[in-house]
Amino acid sequence: MEQYVIKGGNPLVGEVEIGGAKNAALGILAAAIMTDETVIIDNLPNVRDINVLLSAMEGIGAKIERLGEHRVKINGSLIHDLSVDYEYINKIRASYYLLGALLGKYKKAEVAFPGGCAIGTRPIDLHLKGFRALGADVDIQHGLISATAEHLVGNHIYLDKVSVGATINIMMAASMAEGKTIIENAAKEPHVVDVANFLNSMGANIRGAGTDVIRIVGVEKLHKTEYSIIPDQIEAGTFMFAAAATKGDVTVKNVIPKHLEATTAKLIEIGCEVEEFDDAVRVVSSKPLHHTQVTTLPYPGFPTDMQPQMSVLLALAEGTSTVTESIFENRFKYVDELTRMGAQVKVESNIAIITGVEKYTGARVSAPDLRAGAALVIAGLAAEGITIVDDIYYIERGYEHFEEKLASLGAMIEKVSSEKEIQKFTLKVS
C-alpha cells in the first residue's frame, strides 16, 4: 500500500497546470461508443477512474488506442457484449454512464451496480425513472441493472432532485430516441454542458445544457468527432485551497475562471486575494483567515466536492465557522482524522461546527474518500511536523501526479510504499 509522507510548513509558491475534468471525461468516454465511427478525445486526465472505465469499455469490445498520456482514440463499432459485469466496474460510480450510452445506441444494456467513494447513498432511481419514461423496461437483479426497449421515444421528464448523473445518463439515451425529450430540473454543472457539447459535436441535437431545462431532439445515428475536455474545476479548487492553507502564492493555469466562482468567492470572503486572468487564477494568502458559513449546493452553488478542502481551511481560520453538507449525508468521515491533527470540529447531523486553531500538527491519517483524502494532504502541507496519509489510492482516483504537482510548488511530499521509505524521508527532512 502506498502513502504520502509530508513535512508541512512550506508555503506553496509558483504555477500549476490543471488537467481535464474527470467528471466530464467519464460521461464523454461512455458517450464515445454511441457512434460506429472513430472518436478522438483530448485533455483526458490520466487518473484511476478513467483507466478503469476505458478497461471496462475494452471488455465489451470497444477499440481503445492511447495516442498519448492525455489523448485517446475510441471506436465502438465492434461492441459485442451489452453486459458490463466487469471485475473493476463496481469501483467507480460512473460505470452507470454505460447504461445510457448502450441503451441509446443498442436499446439494450446491462451494467453492474455502481461503486465509488462511500460518501453516502447516491440513488440511481432518477436514472431508472428517466429510462422508463423513454420507454425502457428496467430491472435490478443479482447486482445488475438491465434496461431494454423495442424503441426509445422522447418524453417530458421532471427530475425530483437535481442529479448530475441522471441528467447525463438520460441525455445520452434521449439523444438517440425517437422525437423530442425535455429534461426539467436538470443539473447545470460544467461537466453536464461538456457532455452535451461532445454529443452535439457527434451530431446530437441538445439545447439548454447549463440551464435547468434541456431539450433534446433524437437522431438516428451519431458520427465521428475530435473533442477536448474542459479543465477540472475541483482539481483547480484543491490547489487554490492548498495555496490558502499554506500562506502561499499560487497561479492555477488552464482553468475556466467562471467555473470557479463559488470557490473564489469564499476564498475572498475569508481573507485571501484572488486575481483572475483569461485562463488562470492566482491565489495569495498573506493575512489571517476569517470564519464564515458555507452550504454545499448544486452548481452554481458551492460544490460538495470542495467541502472537505473548505473545512480544512476554516479549521485554521479565526472564530467559529459552520459547513452545511446538503448533497451527501456521509461526507464528514474525514473529521476524525482532522481532529488527530489538532482541528476542533464538531459534527451535528449534516453541519460541521468548526472552531479555528492556530496550527495543525503532523499525524498519521487515512484518506476515507477521494476529496477528503486531498483535503488531508492540504492539512499535512499546513501542519507542523510530519504527516503520513494512508489509502492514497482514493486520491489517485481523481488527481493526476498530485504529489509531483505539489512538489513543484515547494511542498515537501513524497509517495512511498514502505515504513523504511517513510523513515528515510523523515531523516532527510529533519
Residue 82: name the closest of 96, 65, 67, 103 by CA: 103
Q: How far is CA 179 from the centre of its chain?
A: 32
Q: What sign does the CA torsion over 19, 23, 26, 31 have?
A: negative
Q: How far is CA 163 from CA 123, 126, 142, 210, 259, in A?
A: 10, 8, 25, 13, 18
Question: Position of cell 436538470?
Answer: 186
Q: Where are the beta strands (DSSP E) in 113-229?
A: 137-141, 144-148, 156-158, 180-184, 205-207, 213-217, 225-228
Catalytic annotation, pick one of 54, 60, 84, 117: 117
Which one, of 139, 176, 177, 172, lies nearest residue 155 by Cα?
A: 177
- Identify which of 228, 194, 219, 183 has the alpha carbon closest to the alpha carbon of residue 34: 219
Q: How far is CA 228 from CA 19, 42, 329, in A?
A: 11, 4, 34
d(CA 343, CA 345): 6
Residue type, 278: D
Parallel, antiparallel or unpaired: strands 249-253 and 273-276? unpaired
The residues near 408 (Cβ < 8 Å, ≥ 6 apart) are: 14, 16
**Strand ranges, E, within 208-271:** 213-217, 225-228, 249-253
Instruction: Look up residue 429 and give its amino acid.
Output: V
For residues 145 and 93, give the distance between their C-alpha atoms in angstroms, rounded to a whole number: 13
CA atoms of 54 and 72, how far apart (whole Å): 10
**In this structure, are residues 333 and 326 in contact, taking their beta carbons and an 8 Å threshold?**
no
- Is residue 117 among the annotated active site residues? yes
- Measure the CA–CA gap between 187 and 396, rounded to whole angstroms: 26
Report the catalytic residues: 117
